[in-house]
Structure 1
Amino acid sequence: MSAAYFVTGTDTEIGKTTIAAGLLHAARIAGRSTAAAKPVASGCQLTAEGLRNDDALALLAQCSLPLRYDEVNPLAFAPAIAPHLAARESGVSLDVPALQNAVQVILDKGADFTLVEGAGGWRVPLGGIATLADLARALNLPVILVVGVRLGCINHAVLSAEAILADGLPLAGWVANVVDPNVARLDDNLATLTERLPAPCIGQVPFLPWIAPQQVAQHLDLSRLML
C-alpha cells in the first residue's frame, strides 16, 4: 500500500531534510520503494549540471526509484533567501497549480513511501498571497511536522499543529529533532510536546555530531504514522 506525506517544520534550519532523509531510509530498509520531492529550493549551488540544492540531493540519494534531479526539485534558485524572494529576483512565479503538477509527477510514480518536503515552516510565502500550506492543501497530503527542539519550540510546534489542522489536513505524526545540544530540561520539553501535540511522536532524534540517514533512521518508527 502506497503512502505519501508532506513534511514541514516549526522553522527553518531545524532539520527537515535530515528527518525526511531518515524517514526515506527507514522505509527503504523496511523493503519499501521510495520517492521524494522538494518542489522549490533556494540557496542552490551552480554545477556543471545546473543549479543543485543540497537538501534536494540528500532526498534524491534516498529515493529507490530512478528519478531525475529536475523531477525532485523542479524550481531551484541560487540566493539563500526566502523562496518567494529568490523567485521574484529570477523573474519566476511560484504558482500553486504549477507546483502541484510538478509534484504530481513524483506522486504518480507510485512509490510505496513518498515525501514532499516544504521550505521553512508552514506559512512560507509563495506567489501573491499563496503559501506552501496552499500547496499541501492542493495535494491533499497528511503532514509530518519536524520540531526543532530548542528554546521556544513548544510554542512554535503547537501553533504549527493548530495551523495544519485549521487548514483541513491531518497531522500524521511529528518528530522531535534536538538541534540544540544544550537545551535545558530536554525530557520535560519532550513530555510537554507529547502532551500538547495532537498526533503520535514517530521519533526523538538526539543531537548528532555526525548526521547520516542511517543514523537518523534508527530513532524513527514509521509504524506510528497515522494514515
Structure 2
Amino acid sequence: MTAAYFVTGTDTEIGKTTIAAGLLHAARLQGLSTAAAKPVASGCTRTADGLRNDDALALLGECSLALRYDEVNPVAFEPAIAPHLAAREAGVVLDVASLRGPVRRVLEKGADFTLVEGAGGWRVPLDGQASLSDLVISLQLPVILVVGVRLGCINQAVLTAEAISRDGLILASWVANVVDPQTSRLEENLATLAERIPAPCLGCVPRLALPSAAAVASCLDLSLLERF
C-alpha cells in the first residue's frame, strides 16, 4: 500500500523541509521506500549541472528510489523571491497544469511513502488567480501541516487548517517545529494548538543545533499518521 502527502506550512522559513526530510527518514527506518517532490523552488544556486535548491537536495537525499534532481524539482528559479514573481521575471508560465504532470510522475513511481513539499504557506500564488493549493486540490493529496512555533502561530495554524478543510482536503496530521525556543508559555501554546487543530500531532521538534533528518525523525511518530 502506498501513501502520499502534501507538506505545507504556516509561513515561509518555518522548517517545512527540515520536517519533510525527517518524515522521509522516519519512513526509511521503518523499511518503507521513499520519494519526494518540490515542484517549484526559488532561491536556487547556479551550478555546473544547472540551478540547484538546497531544500530540494535535502529531500532528494532522503529518497530511497533513484530520482533525478529535475524529477524532484522540475521548476527552479535563482532569485530568492516569491515563485510567481520569479516566474514572471523569467518569462515562465507557472500554473497548475505545468506542475501537475511532474508531480504525478513522481507519485507514479509507487514509493511506499511520498511527500510533495510546497513553497511558503498554503496560498502561495501562481499565475493569475491560481494558488499552489490548487495543485494540491487537483491531485487530491492529504496534507501535513508544519506549524512554526513562535508568537502568532496559533492564529496562522488555525486559519491554515480551516483553509485546507474548506478546499475539501484532508488534514492528515501536523508537526510542531519550534523555530523560536524563547516563545513565551511554550507548553501552553502547544496544548492550545493540539486543541484547535483537528488532526493528530506527529511530534514536537525542538530547536536543534544540527537539524539532521535523523535527529528530526527521532522526534516524530509515524504510527499516528493515517494512510488515505
**One fold, TM greater than 0.5?**
yes
SS in 1 for 2:209: coil
Matches within 5 A, 1:117-196: 117-196=117-196
2: CA distance, partners of 1:29 / 1:173 = 20
CA deviation map 1:69-120 (0-9, x unaligned): 0000000000000000001000001120121111001000000000000000
Q: Structure 1: which 4+ aligned runs deviate by more than 3 Å?
A: none
1:209 Cα offset (Å): 1.4
CA–CA separation in structure 1 for the residues paired with 2:104 and 2:38: 12
Distance between the aligned counterparts of 1:210 and 1:102, measured in 2?
32
- 1:113 paired residue number: 113
* C-alpha distance in 2 between matches for 1:195 and 1:169: 20
Q: How many residues align?
A: 227
Q: Deviations over 1:43-76 (max 9, x none)?
A: 0000000000000000000000000000000000
Aligned twin of 1:85 = 85
Q: Does 1:99 align with 2:92?
A: no
Q: Structure 1 vs Structure 2: percent identity of aligned residues? A: 74
- Structure 1 counterpart of 2:225: 225
User: Residue 12 of structure 1: SS of its match in structure 2?
Assistant: coil
What pairs up with 1:11-26 in 2 under 5 angstroms? 11-26=11-26
The reply on whether 1:76 has 2:76 as its aligned counterpart is yes
What is the distance in 2 between the residues matched to 1:11 and 1:25?
23
Structure 1 distance, partners of 2:188, 2:226, is 25
2:58 partner letter: A
d(CA) in 2 for partners of 1:85 and 1:77?
10
RMSD: 0.5
- Residue segments in structure 2 that go unaligned for 5+ positions in a row: none
TM-score (norm 2): 0.99
Determine the C-alpha separation between the residues in 2 that align with 1:63 and 1:212: 15
What amino acid sits opposite 1:200 in the alignment? P
Q: Distance in 1 between the 2:122 and 2:95 partners?
A: 17
Please, what TM-score do these two structures have when normalized by structure 1? 0.99
Query: CA deviation digits over 1:149-169, x for unaligned, max 9?
Result: 000000000000000000000
Q: Secondary structure at the match of 2:154?
A: helix
> Aligned partners of 2:52, 2:155: CA distance in 1, in Å?
33
Q: State the distance in 1 between where 2:217 and 2:122 align.
A: 24
SS of structure 2 residue aligned to 1:148: strand
How far apart in 2 are the matches of 1:50 and 1:38? 16
Please state whether the residue corresponding to 2:118 is helix, strand or coil: strand
SS at match of 2:81: coil
Query: Secondary structure of 1:187's partner?
Result: helix
In the TM superposition, residue 226 of structure 1 has moved relative to its aligned partner by: 2.5
Residues in 1 aligned to 2:138 and 2:116: alpha-carbon distance in whole angstroms: 12
| Residues 10-37 of structure 1: per-residue CA shift (max 9 Å, x gap) | 0000000000000000000110000000
- Please list every run of 5 or more consecutive structure 1 residues that lacks an aligned counterpart in the other structure: none
